[in-house]
């Protein structure tokens, strides 16, 4: 299963984002595919926060617009929302200790742990910080 990180979701939603059209095409490909794909719940929460942040955008999304976008992704029959999984805490603890995760990097570790727990084979992201988690294959679909 492919999972999608917050930054790809943002590019696909915010028209003023630099890679908007590429992200829309990538997300449509996933949404129209019969193969399951997923979005970690943490990424949906982060998406809402970024999309509605007035300091980041000339025209930030309203809460309704952001929630409507999330609903549209959820309507894809092949989309799975990846919530907290019982195995995540152990994976997260292992990452925190073995990879010496500190501060805000714990958010990426949580996403990586979620993906591992759900058997995600590839995370679509623009973020190079996931290279800290070599057990999770990443792909930037926007280049």
CATH number at residue 101: 3.40.50.1010
How many domains does the structure of the chain reveal? 1
Q: How far apart are the first and last CA of the chain?
A: 20
pLDDT of 68 higher than 90: yes
Q: Whole-prediction pTM value?
A: 0.93
- Tell me the C-alpha to C-alpha distance, in Å, between residue 79 and each of 1, 33, 114, 131: 10, 9, 15, 25
Cα dihedral 13, 14, 16, 19 sign? negative
Confidence bin at 96 (pLDDT 50/70/90): confident
Share of the chain above pLDDT 90, in %: 79
Tell me which residue range forms the domain holding 89.
Answer: 2-139
The proportion of the chain whose per-residue pLDDT surpasses 70, expressed as a percent, equals 100
Q: Is the pLDDT of residue 26 over 90?
A: yes
Is the pLDDT at 11 greater than 90, yes or no?
yes
């Amino acid at each position: 299963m492919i999972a999608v990180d917050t930054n790809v979701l943002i590019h696909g939603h915010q028209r003023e984002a630099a890679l908007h059209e590429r992200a829309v095409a990538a997300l449509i490909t996933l949404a129209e595919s019969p193969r399951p794909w997923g979005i970690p719940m943490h990424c949906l929460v982060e998406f809402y926060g970024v999309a509605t942040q007035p300091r980041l955008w000339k025209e930030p999304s309203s809460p309704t617009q952001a929630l409507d976008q999330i609903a549209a992704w959820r309507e894809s029959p092949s989309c799975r929302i990846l919530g907290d999984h019982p195995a995540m805490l152990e994976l997260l603890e292992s990452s925190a200790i073995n990879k010496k995760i500190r501060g805000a990097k714990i958010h990426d570790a949580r996403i990586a742990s979620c993906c591992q727990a759900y058997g995600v084979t590839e995370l679509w992201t623009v973020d190079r910080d996931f290279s800290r988690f070599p057990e999770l294959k990443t792909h930037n679909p926007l280049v």
